[in-house]
Chain A
Amino acid sequence: MADIDQIMQHDHERLDQLLGQSAHAVSTGAWQEAAHLLEVFRHGIVDGHMVVEESTLFPAFERNEGGDDHPLTALLRKGHRDLRIFFEEMAEAIHDQDAETFDDLLSTVQTILKQHDAKEETELYPYLAAALPDRGEAAGKRILACEAETPS
C-alpha cells in the first residue's frame, strides 16, 4: 500500500475530477447528471476524506504537535465547515437549474480547495506517517475503500 501522504494527495486529485465532471454536466444543462455527480463528489469528500481527516489525521497531528488548538488544524477545520455549506448551496443551485449561481459557487469552492489542499499536502500530510501509530495504514485503507465504492 502507498504511504498515507500519497493516498491523501491522490484522493484530492480524484475528488477534483469528480467536481469537474459535475461542473461540466452543469455547463451542458445535464442537470440530473450534474446532481448525481455532485452527490458522488460530496459523499467522497464529506463522508470519506473529511471524516478520516477530522477523526484520525488531525488529532494525530495535534497530539504530535502538543495540543488540540493548533493553528493549522483549526484553519483546516474552518475550511471544512465552510465547504460543507458551499456543497449544500451548490446542490441547491443544481436543483434550481441556476447555472450562474452554481458557477459563482464553483469558483469560490475551487479557490478554497486549491489553497486548502496545498496547505494539507505541504504542512500536514508529510508529517502523518510519523504521527500515526500504524504510519497511517488504517486511515489509508479507509480512503481507498471510499475510492473503491465510487461508481465509475
Chain B
Amino acid sequence: MSEYHGCELPEDLFYDLDYVWVRPEDDGTLTIGVTDPAQTMSGRLQKARIKKTGTHLDAGRHVATLESGKWAGGVPVPFAGEVIARNEALLEDPHLINIDPYKDAWIARVKPDDPQHALDNVKTGPDAMEALEAWIKRYGVQCMRCSD
C-alpha cells in the first residue's frame, strides 16, 4: 500500500487516474469504487445513487452519483458492461465511502462486455502511483479518514 499526503493508494488496484478505482475479481467481474483522495476532495458524503442491477452502461457513463454538502459528481465506468451488484449499504449510509473507500464501501460490480479490453483505459502499478501523486499534489489534497 502506497501512501502520499496521507492518502492510501493500494498498488494492486487499477485507476482511471481521477476519481475511480477498479478491482478485477476471480469471476471476471470488475468492482468499482472511488479513491481515498477523491473521497477527501468530495467531503462528507450525504447522498449516493447507484444504478440498479441489470443496467447496461457504455464506457464513461455514471454507475453512481455522489453528493456531499459541498460537492456533487458522477462515478464513471471506464468500460462498457452490465451492473451485476451494487452496494446497498451505501444507499443508506454514503458516509461509509469516507471511512473505508477501498473495502466495505465498494460501489458496484460490473460485468464487462469485452473482458479482454476492459482495463485498457485504466492504469496500475508505478505509473498509476506516479499519476495519482501528481493528482493529489495538483489539488493540494491531504487525506483524512473519518472513523465513524
Contact A115-B72, Cβ < 8 Å, known A86-B62, A89-B62: yes
Asked whether A108 lies within 8 Å of B139 as measured between CB atoms, the reply is no
Asked whether B72 lies within 8 Å of A74 as measured between CB atoms, the reply is no
A112 at the B interface (CB under 8 A): yes
Cα A75 to Cα B141 with chains together (Å): 13
Interface size on B, residues (CB 8 A): 16
Residues of chain A in range 59-81 having any CB-CB distance to chain B below 8 Å: 69, 71, 74-75, 78-79
Chain A contact residues, CB within 8 Å of chain B: 69, 71, 74-75, 78-79, 82, 85-86, 89, 104-105, 108, 111-112, 115
Cα A79 to Cα B18 with chains together (Å): 12
Cα A108 to Cα B119 with chains together (Å): 28
B10 at the A interface (CB under 8 A): no
Asked whether B60 lies within 8 Å of A85 as measured between CB atoms, the reply is yes
Cα A75 to Cα B72 with chains together (Å): 12
Specify which chain A residues have a CB less than 8 angstroms from the CB of B71 in the assembled complex: 115
Q: What are 28 A-B residue pairs whose CB atoms fall within 8 Å in the complex?
A: A69-B138, A71-B139, A71-B140, A74-B139, A75-B139, A78-B18, A78-B73, A79-B73, A82-B62, A82-B73, A82-B76, A85-B60, A85-B61, A85-B62, A85-B74, A85-B76, A86-B74, A89-B61, A89-B62, A104-B49, A108-B49, A108-B74, A111-B67, A112-B72, A112-B73, A115-B70, A115-B71, A115-B72
